[in-house]
Chain A
Amino acid sequence: MYPNIQLNADGKLKHFLSIEGLNQALLTEILDTAASFVNPSDGQIKKVPLLRGKTIVNLFFENSTRTRTTFELAAKRLSADVLNMNITTSSTAKGESLLDTIRNLEAMFVDMFVVRHAISGAAHFIAQQTAPHISVINAGDGQHAHPTQAMLDMFTIRQHKGDFSKLRVAVIGDILHSRVARSEIQALNTLGVAEVRVIAPKTLLPAKVETLGVTVCHDLKQGLADIDVVMMLRLQKERMTSALLPGESEYFKCFGLTEEKLHYAKPDAIVMHPGPINRGVEIDSKVADGKQSVILQQVSNGIAVRMAIMAMAMQHNGASV
């Protein structure tokens, strides 16, 4: 059982570490709050004073341009002060422990940490160790979770499909190493989709993957039947050299999404990808840039959704949403 340190005594969001333990109502509240930040006429995102005077630290122990940038933009649109710390080149390189880094930043009167780390459980650990007034947002920990990515994807799906209950969603590619996949699957199941299907060779599926609440398929064409949402995952190049796959070309042949293969899904299926894309490895350019692709909308939606999560997590600290 996941100890739900994410919610405070009133059941309100305090940390955002994983989708696990959050109910449908709360996920829907995040999506609704995010929608309220978007100007309906032009799709622009308003600047609001919700987190004025608050300090948010982007604590990135792993490189990421897009995630860090959208978090930074989201924080600025909430009028917070933002500090970006790229720890791979900073204190831990000097032998400072994770905990010491956190303690030092705490001493600088920080209100929120946005954490990305290469080890599963790191964000959870930081949330347990920080001072009680500080909120922690998980921006990706090891292979465990990337819950803000999952929520911006849910937001994008809702924009296009409305109701979740009839949707069949395929998650394709490297499920084994993907924190995105784990969070997507939890979010989709919490929001009550009809089916989540994972499509991958056995080498890229974790043990007992069906216990995550998915059906399993090893063939892309078969697996795409009746699918409303196609979620592609990034394939790290180093998977080729670790005997998980024979090579890029065979992978692309079997599991790469092309226009031809996309025809097996429903005609109005949307294509998603958390980025960055490996064109010609997991997805063909024609599909990535095609009319069914919503990949760039996912990026735009990241700002409003991350604003919503940050603002909601700071309610206990005086923010009113």
Chain B
Amino acid sequence: MTAIHIQHGRVIDPANNIDRVGDVYIVDGKIAALFAAPEGFHADTVIDATGNIVCAGFIDISTRLRDMGHSRKATFKSETRAAASAGVTTMCLQPDTRPVMDAASIAEYVKDLAEKAGYPQIYPIGALTQKLEGAELSSMLALKQAGCIAVSNANAPVKNLLILRRAMEYAASHDLLYICRPNEFSLSNKGCAHEGAIATRYGLPSIPEAAETIALAESLELAELTGCRVHFGQLSCKLSVIKIHQAKKYGLNVSADVAIHQLHLTESDMIPFDSAYHVLPPLRTEADKKYLRQGLASGTINSLCSDHQPHDLDAKLGAFPETESGVSSLETLLPLMLRLVAQNDITLEQGITALTQQPAQILGLASGALTVGFSADVCVFDPILEWHINSDTWQSRGLNTPFWGQSMTGRVTHTLQAGKVIFSL
């Protein structure tokens, strides 16, 4: 029996309507009790959380950890270490791995790599179509049985709406969640920046909002037609928030997330031709940012994700349109969430909910809360600790963050996964 005692922290657990200072007791990897020690409790480890916040570990619906065919960019070892240092205890892995996550054997291999990295709570997302080519259905049931938590076609197009319809029907038959990053490829047309003043000034191939909103509208219609549960990932525009709001009001079983950087950066923040700002969907306008923040506050947007995409230096070294898109973002997830709280756009409770309870609910996981009996996935963080992003503090192999060199407020001090301390500052 191992027992951990987290003392004197401010325990925030929105799922159980808790926000008070007190202690958390963990026995054999599970939450044993809150505020009062269970009978016969004797701590092996004591964590002093005075002045800190204690909440459930964060659940990140969209990450890429590279490895396998991309180990030059990052490895499970480097990225799970980064995740642990960021308070993230559960990660979903996008299916555009190399090889593509379209076979049970690959899912099993990933689970194995995760175990070996000492970070078992990685859930692969299965490919919706074979090789993500958008033409033939993947073996979704086998993928599910091998541990895939959902299916998605990641950033690759599905050839036509008939194939998408069939894929969604088939996913629904096996009660699989379909995760969709809405993008109409004929409209995004190899663009690399938001279609607006900045792309116009710098002559960058651009992506209109309609590339997202049209694809979103199609998938909403198909959700109605097929009864498939759909989660929309990494929304970037105002009209998407409005459409999700309407769909939920209408009664569709859909949810949505936003990547944390979309809530902080706009096209105007881009340093021209600085590839650190090359992300997909692209950074949009102030109005979009504002709407996304409001959508998060109102619950139209359910959750926050990092959309972590570590890259090697070469991938970002070149003329902007030729560089690879994506931000290394696990480690900025918490401080950027806290920045939203500091700017009064959401409450701390809402921010924590969006990182814990909401993604757990979307994925159907019995976690994301400090409920007695749940696996002890816990994050302890200092909400006012200032730190700098530099090579001493940064854990991810990917240095591709537009926030490099900047100061952040809020830092994780301890991360526990299934009752095991996987990070302490």
Contacts and interface: CB of A to CB of B under 8 A. Distances in A.
B409 to A, nearest CB: 25
A211 B318 CA distance: 27
A208 B272 contact: no
B139 to A, nearest CB: 37
Contacts of B204: 120-121, 143-144
A204 B394 CA distance: 45
Contact of A125 (B199, B203, B206, B318): B318
A206 B206 CA distance: 9
B60 interface: no
A122 B319 contact: yes
A280 interface: no
A282 interface: no
A97 B205 CA distance: 22
Interface in A1-33: 1-3, 20
Contact of A120 (B195, B208, B319): B319
Given A121-B272, A121-B321, A207-B195, A212 B201 contact: yes
A192 interface: no
Contacts of B208: 207
Interface string A85-109: 0000000000001110000000000
A241 to B, nearest CB: 15
Interface in B296-351: 317-322
B206 A141 contact: no
15 contacts: A98-B319, A99-B317, A119-B321, A120-B204, A120-B320, A121-B204, A121-B272, A121-B319, A142-B203, A142-B319, A144-B202, A145-B203, A207-B196, A207-B206, A211-B197
Nearest to A205: B200
Which 8 pairs from chain A and chain B are nearest by CB? A143-B203, A144-B203, A121-B273, A211-B197, A206-B200, A122-B319, A121-B319, A119-B319
B1 interface: no
B362 to A, nearest CB: 34
Given A125-B319, A212-B201, 9 more contacts: A97-B318, A120-B203, A121-B321, A182-B201, A206-B199, A206-B200, A209-B200, A211-B197, A212-B200
Interface string A127-147: 000000000000001111100
Contacts of A144: 202-204
A124 interface: yes
Contacts of A98: 318-319
Nearest to B202: A144
A208 B200 CA distance: 7
B425 interface: no
A124 B319 CA distance: 8
Contacts, number: 72
Interface in B125-151: none
A179 interface: yes
A124 to B, nearest CB: 5
A120 B321 contact: yes
Contacts of B199: 206-207
Contacts of B203: 120, 141-145, 179, 182
A3 B272 CA distance: 8
Contacts of A143: 203-205
A313 B201 CA distance: 24
A77 interface: no
A117 interface: yes
A242 B208 CA distance: 18
A125 B273 contact: yes
Interface in A210-241: 211-212
A1 B273 contact: no
Contacts of B271: 1, 3
A119 B273 CA distance: 11
A212 B197 CA distance: 8
Interface string B262-273: 000000000111
Given A1-B271, A2-B272, A125-B273, A207 B200 contact: yes
A146 to B, nearest CB: 10
Given A3-B272, A121-B202, A124-B273, A208 B317 contact: no
A186 to B, nearest CB: 9
A286 to B, nearest CB: 32
Contacts of A182: 201, 203
A121 B323 CA distance: 11
A179 B199 CA distance: 12
A179 B273 CA distance: 15
Contacts of B320: 119-121, 125
Contacts of B319: 98, 117, 119-122, 124-125, 141-142
Contacts of A179: 203
Contacts of B272: 2-3, 121, 124
Interface string B201-240: 1111110100000000000000000000000000000000
A206 B317 CA distance: 27
Nearest to B204: A120
Contacts of A119: 319-322
A116 to B, nearest CB: 13
B321 A211 contact: no
Nearest to A99: B317
Contacts of B322: 119
A182 B203 CA distance: 8
A143 B317 CA distance: 20
Contacts of A117: 319
Contacts of B273: 120-121, 124-125
A213 B58 CA distance: 46
Nearest to A209: B200
B317 A120 contact: no
